[in-house]
């Protein structure tokens, strides 16, 4: 979880996404964090959600929707990083 949070925070600090750096893909970090949140018992979710949701909102604000992508994918995979 710490590594996924770090990856997402690192992306949000950078001015642009480096497409040549697959290790810095915030979508994969969001996959991991979403998986952790959903795997937690309901009573344990709020503190983790409080860490993840603001980062997700910042990611959403820095990206654009891509209507060409499949709607069954998580919202973060249906976004295009800014250029």
Q: What is the pLDDT of residues 9-50, one digit of tens each?
A: 887 887 665 555 656 678 888 999 999 999 999 999 999 999
Q: For residue 82, what pLDDT is reported?
A: 59
Residue 81: is its pLDDT beyond 90?
no
> What's the number of domains the chain is made of?
1
Please give the residue range of the domain that contains residue 18: 2-81
Q: For residue 26, what pLDDT is reported?
A: 85
Q: For residue 8, what pLDDT is reported?
A: 83
- Residue 66 and residue 79 in contact, taking contact as beta carbons nearer than 8 Å: yes
Q: For residue 4, what pLDDT is reported?
A: 85
Pick the closest to residue 53 from 5, 16, 17 (CA basis): 5
**Of 8 and 54, more confident:** 54
């Amino acid at each position: 979880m710490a590594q996924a949070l770090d990856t997402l925070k690192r992306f949000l600090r950078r001015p642009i996404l480096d497409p040549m750096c697959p290790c810095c893909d915030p979508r994969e970090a969001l996959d991991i964090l979403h998986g952790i949140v959903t795997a937690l018992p309901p009573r344990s979710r709020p503190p983790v959600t409080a860490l993840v949701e603001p980062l997700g909102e910042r990611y959403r604000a820095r990206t654009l929707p891509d209507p060409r992508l499949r709607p069954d994918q998580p919202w973060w995979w249906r976004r295009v990083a800014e250029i």
